[in-house]
Structure formats: structure tokens, C-alpha cells
Amino acid sequence: MKLEIMPLSIPDVKLIRSSRISDSRGYFFESYVRSDFAASGISENFVQDNQSFSAVPGTVRGLHFQVFPYAQAKLVRVLQGKILDVVVDLRVSSPTFAKHLAIELSSENADQLFVPVGFAHGFCTLMPNTEVFYKVDNTYSAAHDRGLNWADPDLQINWPVKNGQAVLSEKDRALPHLSSLPNYF
């Protein structure tokens, strides 16, 4: 498999594009081959696969993360639809601490986003019936589950939906702002 790693504004976060083989039937590609990813510098041992479905555009999920010893790296891609995927650097010693990046992922482009440990992650659906799939390198732990408020004005994220129009869980609506978070990473 040929992987193309795209540089992003936060260097530890990586956009990954795999080559597709297309013909009259459609396409085929290998979305994950451990040895190819390891050769490209992504050596995490993914142990759990997660999938979400959102029926309505403007659904926001996040910004989520887990703390040690259950902190998670993620490999995110869209199976159906399109999202604006957002990560926020929570590593206090990082030169990009509190900075974010946002990138569109879709079933059409089949790009994947690698999100290392130490980042809050979330997304907003841009199309109806969007399915997001992601691998994580640690299992879910409710006791270690944390989050960051998606609409924190200090983050200056340009979401495609306004605060009052976003479809959110009650849990996500109540997440704290960055200024209230302890230094987890």
C-alpha cells in the first residue's frame, strides 16, 4: 500500500491518504496495514474500533479525550458523508498548546486523520446520515473520559454551525472550557 502523509499545522497530527484502485465497479483500497503505518511513523497498537452515525447535519460530537492511563490515540475516517474534524492540542509543554486544526474528511476523499495522545477530538457533520469510524489504541474507560467545550470562544474554532443550532448531547453541551481544565498532558 502506498501511504501519503500530508503535513498539517500541528506536526504530530497527520493526514493520511491511501492509494485507490478504481475501475467500473468502484474502488478498492487498504485503509490500514500496520506495517505500512509503522514505516510511516505511526506505530500505535490499535485495540478498539468505534463507529458513530449522525442523521442530521450540524451534529457536533466532542471535543473528547481520555486521560492516563487510558489516554487514546485515534485514527479517524468517514465511511459515509462528510465532517469537519477538529483537534485541540492539550499538551502543556507543546509549542502548539491550545491551538487547533480543522480539516474536512469525507467518504469521497477517504482521507484519515491520525490524532495522537494529548489532543481533544471532535467533529461536526456536514451531510445527512454521516458515519464516522475510528481506531483507538486504548479501550474506553468512563472514569478517564474527559472533554472540552466545543464552543469555547478562546479556541476560536470556525465551526460550520452556530452554538444554538448544533445538535449536541447534554454531556457535550456541559463540557468545561479550556481555562477550567487541569493540565492532563
Q: What is the CATH number of the domain that holds 163?
A: 2.60.120.10
Q: Could you list the residue range(s) of the whole structural domain that residue 69 is in?
A: 47-180
Positions annotated as catalytic residues are 64, 134
97-110 mean pLDDT: 97
pLDDT greater than 70 at residue 1: no
Burial class, 25, CB count within 10 angstroms (exposed 0-12 / middle 13-18 / buried 19+):
exposed
Q: E strands, the chain, where?
A: 3-6, 14-18, 21-23, 26-28, 48-54, 60-66, 74-80, 82-89, 100-106, 112-115, 119-125, 130-136, 145-147
If one compares 62 and 7, the residue with the highest pLDDT of the two is 62
Band (pLDDT 50/70/90 cuts) for residue 118 is: very high
Q: How many domains does the chain have?
A: 1
If one compares 1 and 125, the residue with the highest pLDDT of the two is 125
Give the whole-angstrom CA distance, residue 169 versus residue 128.
17
Is there a domain that residue 27 lies in? no
Is there a domain that residue 148 lies in? yes
20-28 mean pLDDT: 93
Is there a domain that residue 5 lies in? no
Is there a domain that residue 59 lies in? yes
- How high does pLDDT run on average in the chain? 96
Is there a domain that residue 131 lies in? yes
Is there a domain that residue 85 lies in? yes
88-93 mean pLDDT: 98
Give the whole-angstrom CA distance, residue 70 versus residue 184.
12
Is there a domain that residue 15 lies in? no
pLDDT greater than 80 at residue 163: yes
Is there a domain that residue 20 lies in? no
Q: Which pLDDT score is estimated for 7?
A: 85
145-170 mean pLDDT: 97
